[in-house]
């Protein structure tokens, strides 16, 4: 939806549906390099970005991954063995 000119923060919107369950979802994610809110002088831009997603700031909650020297970003063989090929 929006990324600051200095790349200090970004707002990303997502939405989808689980048709079998008859439900849908949408939301937004605020990302920053350090996991903290942007500076006060940028908060109006943040609020406007979230409003474009239909979300107000009071609806946000913080989620910060703990610092770890080796984050688990690799795809394991176990995960790959559980995948089924897409067939159109």
Confidence category of residue 70, pLDDT binned at 50, 70, 90: low
Name 26's bridge partners. 15
Does this model's pTM top 0.85? My answer is: no
Residue 80's pLDDT is: 67
Residue 81's pLDDT is: 72
Q: How far, in Å, CA of 72 to CA of 70, rounded?
A: 6
pLDDT in tens, 18-68: 877 788 888 888 888 887 888 888 989 999 999 988 888 888 777 766 666
Q: How far, in Å, CA of 43 to CA of 47, rounded?
A: 6
Q: Count other C-beta atoms under 10 Å from residue 13's C-beta.
A: 16
Please answer whether residues 49 and 60 qualify as being in contact, where contact means their C-beta atoms are separated by less than 8 angstroms. no
Q: How far, in Å, CA of 8 to CA of 38, rounded?
A: 7
């Amino acid at each position: 939806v929006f990324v600051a000119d200095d790349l200090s923060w970004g707002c990303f919107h997502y939405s989808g549906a689980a048709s079998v369950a008859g439900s849908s979802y949408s939301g937004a994610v605020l990302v920053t390099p350090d996991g903290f809110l942007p500076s006060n002088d940028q908060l109006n831009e943040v609020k406007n970005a979230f409003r474009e997603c239909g979300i107000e700031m009071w609806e946000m909650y913080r989620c910060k991954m703990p610092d770890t020297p080796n984050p688990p970003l690799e795809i394991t063989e176990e995960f790959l063995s559980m995948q089924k090929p897409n067939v159109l």
